């Protein structure tokens, strides 16, 4: 099932299928290792529900929901 | 001298390595044109001294942040003799991503593998020989923190710098390699340096590259048409980023043998996770943050440490009778470390000034202009600024510790959503809160903000978060209001002034981010670094550097401004010293500008002596405490004015004895005939107007070039609009003035709301137009 990262629940894991958007937001995501085939685990949400904290490639990354909706994943 | 550049991800130990290599020779400045810190120093343990340049921490060489552009341009244009790439062994994949890009540049390079001990503790093993062979450049294991193997690293870099290195790329995709080869030939034909790097960046559609080599774009686009990937289609930007990571996992990761335990469970909980469970918790996280903030401020500013005051009620002050009376404690309580240091400087300084005055009086005769110049102008001004240095540094130290441990990133994480509503990121919270202590460290702290526009907006509103030095103004005037107008809730006035400052800051940021400082904020895609203990050495280097800059400013721009104000206060237009401020240049300036404060309630509607408020506002520029000090020295003038020149000496004594300035302010209120609304408006004006010279000098250094003069204008405008509104609003509550105050206040509010809507709809139209185009 395909799902946006912004719609993930805490504790869910997925495989990146596609990174949408353009310009620096997308570039930054790619640079940080959010590339197709990467496993992403949604670790936590901030107390106000945004931003998100994810684990990928063995490290912690935080990003806002606005950016997370650019990432399409296959739910594991 | 050979130049080695340090390049690496943020949080990989780069700064620690830099400090270990250069020691005390480090010099901190800014990269030209931007407020990104530039650090350079010298390494002296080789045959010849080596200049070390610390490039900003970056994840990639894309041109999207100023840090990335700086690092890239430095390596490409300045051609260092060697690039030392620091790689965090615990985060190999992402760190090596930058390495693959650096490899493409024709520059000698070595890799320093840091934090190997933590990796080994996890039970993982990294085979350096394998990695070295795959990368094709020397790899040296170091510990930046323990300063292990640094000499080896420098020797390897020195050897590498002796011969040029040709860039190479790391792609497995044959079509891509082919495409890059073709474009590279075109660059070689043009005789461009670093053909491989430029070729790859142009294929990536890199903004900077497209601008620089526009002539080749057409050709590259033709080449690209032949390229089609099964997964990405013609999306070459993604293909390249993906290929780099693929190569890293396929080739470099072979060097890493993971402990089976962590292989089974990718998301194993680390120590940082366990700490985070508490520190970013919905309830505990906020409580912890509040406690940390309280402690930082309490240890810096409290004169009643941990509220133990009661214990010391019957004890004599420390060092009673000496110049250091009350240094450690007084009847009211124990002093915090910040206050002790402040007291020490303050008491030493005033003893020094007194000694100088005594000596000069004996040598030159009492009342010589030079004595006044040196003691009241130079020394008092300088000491007023330097006296704050310990507290500024201490507050800065506490917040640096929070930054270094990785806690600040969590604070930004918690508060980001709230701050986004105002067009800022969660990072802006910290400098704003620091502003309640002192604007100087707060403005320096805005360096952690990635976006220039966000930084400008934050620096501008920091003074509205009323600093410690503004509190005496509040207490003095509010106390006098209570005495004269029978208003019993002094704390209500104080409290509402703080709220006014915060509201003004919020509104000002909203307006700026929608008008003059429009623009999308930077992507908030950042790493949450693992928690680690702060490093004493790095903190001290950091603090020492800030102290140096501040002292330099105190002796130059701040001192000069102070002397000018002293001159204006003590000299008349005939260039002779005057006895009373009323006859001085400043006094006549005050009388001249008095009418412009009429809408604020302390202008032409006051008696002829109403200029005192204008004068106090100007002297407040040296340091905000001076507002009340000026009131005290002008109190006599006010009494003389009231009693047609006759002043009872006991009245003068009473005024001078009251250090809080309440007696003086009461005399001022009676003499000028100012209303309580005017008094509060005057407090508001001082809260919102241009901050002290020290804060101005800091703002000038932190803001991008050319933005300072607009910032000054912004402060003046905001203070006028803000306090005029306060005056009108409060005048509604007085029978004598409500007739005009109600329509004016309602009008002002309507005007503001209409203005807000106009900006909103204008921006909306612009946006749809842009989308349409």
Q: Under an 8 A CB cutoff, do B413 and A67 touch? A: no
Cα distance between residue B655 and residue B671, in whole Å: 14
Residue B689: pLDDT band (50, 70, 90) is very high
The domain that holds A63 is classified in CATH as 2.30.30.90
Reported as a single tens digit per residue, the pLDDT across B431-470 is: 998 898 889 989 988 887 878 888 999 999 999 998 888 8
| pLDDT beyond 50 at B537 | yes
B84 closest CA partner among B158, B184, B180:
B158
| pLDDT beyond 70 at B288 | yes
pLDDT at B310: 64
Contact in structure between B28 and B37 (CB atoms under 8 Å): yes
Reported as a single tens digit per residue, the pLDDT across B487-496 is: 777 888 888 9
* Span B613-626, average pLDDT: 86
As given in the structure block, the two tokens for residue B573 are: 């237009």
What lies within 8 Å, CB to CB, of B225 at 6+ separation is B234
**Residue of A19, A46, A56, A63 for testing the chain B interface, max B β-carbons within 10 Å:** A46
Q: Under an 8 A CB cutoff, do B416 and A57 touch? A: no
Q: Where in chain B is the domain with CATH 1.10.287?
A: 174-250
By residue range, what is the domain housing residue A61? 2-75
**Residue A52, SS3 per DSSP:** strand
Q: How far is A32 from chain B (nearest CA, A)?
A: 7
Question: Which chain B residue lies closest to A41 (C-alpha atoms)?
Answer: B267
More confident residue, B479 or B562: B479
As given in the structure block, the two tokens for residue B453 are: 């526009």
ipTM: 0.95
Query: Domain count of chain A?
Result: 1
Reported as a single tens digit per residue, the pLDDT across B562-582 is: 888 888 888 889 888 887 777
pLDDT at A3: 93
Q: What percent of chain B has pLDDT over 70?
A: 96
Residue B266: pLDDT band (50, 70, 90) is very low
pLDDT at B233: 66
Q: How far is B448 from chain A (nearest CA, A)?
A: 16
Cα distance between residue B351 and residue B333, in whole Å: 24
| pLDDT beyond 80 at B698 | yes
Cα distance between residue A28 and residue A17, in whole Å: 17
Residues of B whose CB is below 8 A from A54: none
| pLDDT beyond 60 at B261 | no
Contact in structure between B342 and B388 (CB atoms under 8 Å): yes
Alpha carbon separation from B390 to B265, B299, B339, B346, B459 (Å, rounded): 49, 12, 9, 11, 22
Residue A16 β-bridge partners? A73
**B62 close to A (CB below 8 A):** yes
Burial class (CB in 10 A: 0-12, 13-18, 19+), B75: buried
Residues of B whose CB is below 8 A from A76: none
Alpha carbon separation from B496 to B11, B212, B679 (Å, rounded): 41, 55, 14
DSSP sequence for B219-264: HHHHHHHT--BTTTBT-HHHHHHHHHHHHHHHTGGGGEE--HHHHH
Instruction: Point out the least confidently predicted range of B156-160, B180-184, B546-550, B729-733.
Output: B546-550
The 3-state secondary structure of B685-707, one letter per residue: HHHHCCCCHHHHHHHHHHCCCCC
Instruction: Point out the least confidently predicted range of B312-321, B417-426, B653-662.
Output: B312-321
Q: Which helix (H) or strand (E) holds A45?
A: strand A39-45
**Residue B314, SS3 per DSSP:** coil
Smallest Cβ–Cβ distance between A64 and the set B64, B267, B524 belongs to B524
| pLDDT beyond 90 at B346 | no
How many other CB atoms sit within 10 Å of the CB of residue B660?
14
Q: Please state the φ and ψ torsions of residue B91, each to the nearest 5 degrees.
A: -135, 55
CATH number of B2-160: 3.40.50.300
* Span A52-62, average pLDDT: 90
Residue B526: pLDDT band (50, 70, 90) is confident
Helix axes of B284-301 and B337-364: crossing angle, nearest 10 degrees: 20
Cα distance between residue B756 and residue B285, in whole Å: 35
Reported as a single tens digit per residue, the pLDDT across B37-46 is: 788 999 999 9
Handedness of CA A15, A17, A21, A26 (dihedral sign): positive
As given in the structure block, the two tokens for residue A5 are: 């990262």
Q: Please state the φ and ψ torsions of residue B765, each to the nearest 5 degrees.
A: -65, -45
Contact in structure between B110 and B160 (CB atoms under 8 Å): yes
How many residues make up chain B in this entry? 773
pLDDT at B267: 47
| pLDDT beyond 60 at B262 | no
pLDDT at B34: 67
Q: Under an 8 A CB cutoff, do B64 and A27 touch? A: yes
* Span B473-481, average pLDDT: 90
Residues of A whose CB is below 8 A from B273: 43
Instruction: Point out the least confidently predicted range of B147-161, B218-232, B503-517.
Output: B218-232
Q: Under an 8 A CB cutoff, do A35 and B527 touch? A: no
Q: Say what the alpha-carbon torsion angle B755, B760, B765, B767 is, to the nearest 10 degrees.
A: 140
Cα distance between residue B474 and residue B680, in whole Å: 9
B22 closest CA partner among B44, B47, B46, B55:
B44
| pLDDT beyond 80 at B35 | no
Mean of per-residue pLDDT scores for chain B: 87
| pLDDT beyond 60 at B670 | yes
In the block, tokens 């908030």 appear at: B524
Handedness of CA B180, B183, B189, B191 (dihedral sign): negative
pLDDT at B234: 67
Cα distance between residue B51 and residue B41, in whole Å: 6
DSSP sequence for B44-70: -SSSS-EEEEEPPP-S---SSSHHHHH
Residue B526 β-bridge partners? A62
Q: Under an 8 A CB cutoff, do A61 and B91 touch? A: no
Cα distance between residue B571 and residue B357, in whole Å: 19
Q: Which helix (H) or strand (E) holds B402?
A: helix B389-405
Residue B687: pLDDT band (50, 70, 90) is very high
What lies within 8 Å, CB to CB, of B682 at 6+ separation is B477, B600, B601, B602, B613, B617, B674, B723
pLDDT at B268: 53
Contact in structure between B347 and B324 (CB atoms under 8 Å): yes
Q: Is the pTM of this model over 0.90?
A: no
**Residue B114, SS3 per DSSP:** strand
Q: Under an 8 A CB cutoff, do B241 and A25 touch? A: no
- Helices marked H in B303-379 — which ranges? 337-364, 369-371
Q: Burial code of A34-49, b = ≥16 C-beta within 10 A, e = fewer?
A: bbbebebbbbbbbbee
Q: How far is B289 from chain A (nearest CA, A)?
A: 13
Reported as a single tens digit per residue, the pLDDT across B112-129 is: 999 998 888 888 889 999
Reported as a single tens digit per residue, the pLDDT across B365-405 is: 887 888 888 887 788 778 877 887 888 888 889 888 988 88
How many residues make up chain A in this entry? 76
How many other CB atoms sit within 10 Å of the CB of residue B224?
15
Alpha carbon separation from B348 to B324, B377, B705 (Å, rounded): 8, 17, 38
* Span B409-429, average pLDDT: 88
Instruction: Point out the least confidently predicted range of A18-22, B266-270, B357-361, B387-391.
Output: B266-270
DSSP sequence for B503-514: HHHHHHHHHHHH
Q: Which architecture, in CATH terms, is B174-250?
A: Orthogonal Bundle (1.10)
Contact in structure between B602 and B636 (CB atoms under 8 Å): no
Residues 3-32 of A with CB under 8 A from B: 13, 19, 23-32
Question: Which chain A residue lies closest to B258 (C-alpha atoms)?
Answer: A58
Residues 79-98 of B with CB under 8 A from A: 90-94, 97
Q: Where in chain B is the domain with CATH 3.40.50.300?
A: 2-160
* Span B336-360, average pLDDT: 88
């Amino acid at each position: 099932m395909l799902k946006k990262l912004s719609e993930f629940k805490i504790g869910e894991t997925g495989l990146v299928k596609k990174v949408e958007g353009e310009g620096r937001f997308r570039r930054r995501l790619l640079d940080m290792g959010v590339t197709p085939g990467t496993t992403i685990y949604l670790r936590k949400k901030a107390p106000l529900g945004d931003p998100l904290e994810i684990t990928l490639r063995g490290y912690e990354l935080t990003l806002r929901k606005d950016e997370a909706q650019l990432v399409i994943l296959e739910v594991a | 001298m050979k130049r080695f550049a340090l390049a690496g991800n943020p949080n990989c130990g780069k700064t620690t390595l830099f400090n270990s290599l250069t020691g005390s020779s480090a010099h901190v400045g800014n990269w030209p044109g931007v407020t990104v810190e530039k650090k350079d120093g010298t390494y002296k343990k080789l045959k010849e001294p080596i200049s070390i340049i610390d490039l900003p921490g970056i994840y990639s060489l894309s041109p999207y942040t100023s840090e990335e552009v700086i690092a890239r341009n430095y390596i490409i244009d300045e051609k260092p003799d060697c690039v030392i790439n620091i790689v965090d062994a615990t985060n190999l994949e992402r760190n090596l991503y930058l390495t693959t890009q650096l490899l493409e540049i024709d520059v000698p390079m070595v890799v320093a593998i840091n934090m190997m001990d933590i990796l080994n503790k996890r039970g993982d093993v990294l085979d350096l020989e394998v990695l070295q062979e795959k990368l094709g450049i020397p790899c040296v294991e170091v510990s930046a923190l323990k300063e292990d193997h640094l000499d080896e690293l420098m020797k390897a870099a020195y050897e590498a710098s002796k011969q040029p290195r040709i860039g190479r790329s790391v792609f497995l995709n044959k079509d891509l390699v082919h495409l890059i080869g073709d474009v590279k030939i075109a660059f070689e034909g043009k005789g461009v340096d670093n053909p491989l790097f430029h070729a790859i960046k142009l294929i990536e559609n890199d903004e900077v590259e497209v601008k620089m080599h526009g002539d080749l774009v057409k050709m590259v686009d033709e080449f690209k048409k032949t390229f089609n990937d099964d997964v990405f289609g013609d999306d070459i930007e993604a293909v390249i980023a993906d290929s780099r990571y693929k190569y890293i996992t396929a080739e470099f990761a072979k060097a890493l043998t993971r402990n089976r335990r962590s292989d089974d469970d990718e998301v194993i909980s680390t120590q940082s996770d366990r700490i985070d469970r508490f520190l970013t918790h919905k309830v505990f996280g906020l409580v912890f943050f509040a406690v940390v903030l309280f402690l930082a401020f309490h240890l810096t500013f409290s004169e009643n440490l941990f509220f133990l005051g009661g214990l010391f009620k019957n004890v004599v002050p420390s060092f009673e009778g000496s110049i250091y009376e009350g240094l450690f404690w007084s009847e009211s309580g124990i002093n915090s470390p910040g206050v002790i240091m402040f007291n020490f400087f303050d008491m030493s300084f005033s003893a020094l000034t007194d000694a100088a005055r005594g000596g000069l009086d004996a040598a030159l005769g009492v009342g010589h202009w030079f004595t006044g110049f040196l003691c009241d102008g130079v020394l008092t001004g300088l000491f007023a600024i330097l006296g704050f240095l310990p507290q500024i540094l201490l507050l800065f130290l506490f917040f640096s510790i929070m930054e270094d441990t990785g806690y600040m990133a969590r604070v930004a994480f918690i508060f980001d959503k709230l701050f986004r509503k105002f067009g800022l990121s969660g990072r802006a919270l910290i400098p704003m809160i620091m502003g309640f202590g002192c604007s100087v460290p707060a403005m320096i702290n805005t360096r952690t903000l990635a976006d220039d526009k966000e930084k400008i907006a934050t620096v501008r509103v920091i003074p509205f978060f009323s600093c410690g030095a503004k509190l005496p103004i509040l207490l003095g005037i509010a106390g006098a209001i209570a005495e004269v107008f029978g208003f019993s809730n002094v704390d209500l006035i104080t409290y509402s002034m703080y709220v006014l400052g915060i509201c003004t800051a919020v509104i000002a940021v909203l307006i700026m981010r929608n008008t003059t400082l429009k623009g999308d904020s930077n992507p908030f895609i950042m790493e949450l670094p693992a928690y680690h203990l702060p490093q004493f050495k790095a903190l001290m280097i950091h603090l020492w550097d800030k102290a140096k800059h501040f002292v330099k400013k105190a002796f130059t721009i701040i001192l000069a401004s102070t002397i000018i104000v002293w001159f204006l206060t003590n000299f008349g237009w005939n260039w002779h010293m005057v006895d009373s401020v009323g006859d001085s240049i400043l006094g006549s300036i005050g009388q001249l500008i008095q009418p412009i404060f009429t809408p604020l309630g302390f202008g032409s509607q006051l008696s002829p002596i109403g200029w005192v408020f204008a004068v106090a506002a100007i002297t407040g520029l040296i340091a905000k405490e001076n507002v009340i000090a000026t009131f005290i020295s002008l109190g006599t003038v006010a009494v003389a004015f009231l009693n047609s020149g006759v002043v009872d000496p006991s009245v003068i004594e009473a005024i001078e004895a009251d250090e809080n300035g309440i007696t003086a302010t009461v005399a001022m209120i009676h003499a000028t005939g100012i209303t309580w609304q005017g008094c509060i408006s005057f407090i508001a004006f001082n809260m919102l107007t241009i901050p002290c010279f020290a804060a101005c000098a800091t703002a000038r250094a932190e803001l991008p070039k050319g933005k300072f003069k607009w910032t000054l204008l912004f402060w003046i405008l905001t203070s006028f609009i803000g306090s005029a509104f306060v005056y009108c609003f409060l005048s509604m509550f007085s029978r004598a003035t409500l007739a005009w105050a109600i329509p004016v206040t309602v009008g002002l509010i309507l005007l503001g709301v209409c203005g807000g809507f106009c900006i909103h709809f204008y921006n909306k139209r612009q946006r749809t137009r842009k989308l349409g185009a």
